[in-house]
Amino acid sequence: MTFTYHIADSRADALQRLSAAKTLPVAGGTDLVPCAEEGILSPAAVVDIRRIPGFRDVSVGPQGVTIGAAVTIASLATHAELRAQYPMLAEACASVGTPALRNSGTIGGNLVQRHHCWYFRRGVGCFKRGGTQCAAVDGEHQYHGIVADGTCRAVHPSDPAVALLALDAQVEIFREDGRVRMLDIAALYDGASRDPLKEAQLDDGELIVAVHLPIAAANGRQHWEKVMQRGAWDFALVSVAACRRSDGSVRMAMGGLGLAPWRVPDSIEEDVASGGLDEDSIDALVERAFYDMEPLAGNAYKRVMGQGVLKRAITALDA
């Protein structure tokens, strides 16, 4: 594994470098380096984006909060205004990996990190390696997905992405030719089931410059829960981010279930928003939410666990 390394001093510098073939942005390197070692990525050059002015800033304004792409996960976990206004994002960030990872990993890199399925990472010829089957279906799949929306059963590893989905956050993306795109989180991962070779729908040369949190999602009632196999650090078996906004509307998203963070269907969010639910109605809602899930032989527990986690979230919003 060899590649050249350049530290960009401006956005224009980074974008110009990224327009060259086989050139990737790098921030903390906590996923890019393992992916390069595992033969998942093979860059000829990488461009370090952390010193670009503004990329490590969190700006709080009347329209919401703008988070530079190279802000570390640790900074987001401890940022006082984020904790006050968007607590479920801060808590999701606090639940990521270990302190060392949170201090190196950035929000941009976290959203673009590749799946951690053991077959994919170890080079088994699965869909994500250009093969024609998912090795997990007949293999070891206790941590894999129960949302059957595609061919591959890997689960998306990002905790912040789950909170950002429920917050209706948007990602700002630049390319050297002047194209600028704003994608909501669902759109960022839309296509993960159609094209198993990538999860985040970025084109070559594109750079996430910031994540925007809308003011409409600030405050209200927010709830985050992540269930892990090990308490010290781990990826989510199941997680939930749920909020009742100040206007009374409800957004709920879950992690650990599918190829992308999973948004709870609108009709269930609307029923939760109407409030006054008794335990039987909450049970009926969570049953409905998980109706289309298709667990594999060894991960049916995720349906039960996911329903329990979602029930606690609905109860917390309805209290």
Ligand X SMILES: Cc1cc2nc3c(=O)[nH]c(=O)nc-3n(C[C@H](O)[C@H](O)[C@H](O)COP(=O)(O)OP(=O)(O)OC[C@H]3O[C@@H](n4cnc5c(N)ncnc54)[C@H](O)[C@@H]3O)c2cc1C
Q: Using CB under 6 A as the criterion, which residues of the chain lie in contact with ligand X when the complex forms? A: 24-32, 49, 69, 73, 96-97, 101, 104-106, 108-110, 112-113, 157-160, 202, 207-208, 235
* Residue 146 Cβ vs ligand X, minimum distance, rounded to whole Å: 19
* Residue 276 Cβ vs ligand X, minimum distance, rounded to whole Å: 35
Nearer CB in complex with ligand X: 66/110: 110
**CA nearest to 145, candidates 130, 127, 131, 160:** 127
* Residue 195 Cβ vs ligand X, minimum distance, rounded to whole Å: 15
What are the distances in angstroms from CA 57 to CA 51, 60, 64, 127? 11, 10, 14, 37
Cα dihedral 101, 103, 107, 109 in deg (nearest 10): -50
Nearer CB in complex with ligand X: 97/295: 97
* Residue 85 Cβ vs ligand X, minimum distance, rounded to whole Å: 21
* Residue 9 Cβ vs ligand X, minimum distance, rounded to whole Å: 16
* Residue 261 Cβ vs ligand X, minimum distance, rounded to whole Å: 10
Nearer CB in complex with ligand X: 28/196: 28
- Residues 121-155 as b/e (b if ≥16 CB within 10 A, e otherwise) read beebebbbbeeeebbbeeeebebbbbbebbbbbbb
SS3 state at 228: coil
Nearer CB in complex with ligand X: 211/285: 211
- Residues 42-71 as b/e (b if ≥16 CB within 10 A, e otherwise) read ebebbbbbbebeebbebebeeebbbbbbbb
Nearer CB in complex with ligand X: 121/244: 121
Q: Is the distance from CB of 152 to CB of 199 less than 8 angstroms?
A: no
Angle between helices 279-289 and 301-318 (to 10 degrees): 130
* Residue 207 Cβ vs ligand X, minimum distance, rounded to whole Å: 5
Q: Is the distance from CB of 154 to CB of 112 less than 8 angstroms?
A: no
Query: How far is 14 from 196, CA to CA, in rounded Å?
Result: 27
What are the distances in angstroms from CA 32 to CA 16, 29, 63? 20, 5, 33
168, two tokens: 């209706």
* Residue 193 Cβ vs ligand X, minimum distance, rounded to whole Å: 20
Residue nearest to ligand X (CB): 109
Residue whose token pair is 């190196």: 104
CA within 13 Å, CB half, 44: 7
Nearer CB in complex with ligand X: 50/153: 50
Nearer CB in complex with ligand X: 15/317: 15
Nearer CB in complex with ligand X: 106/307: 106
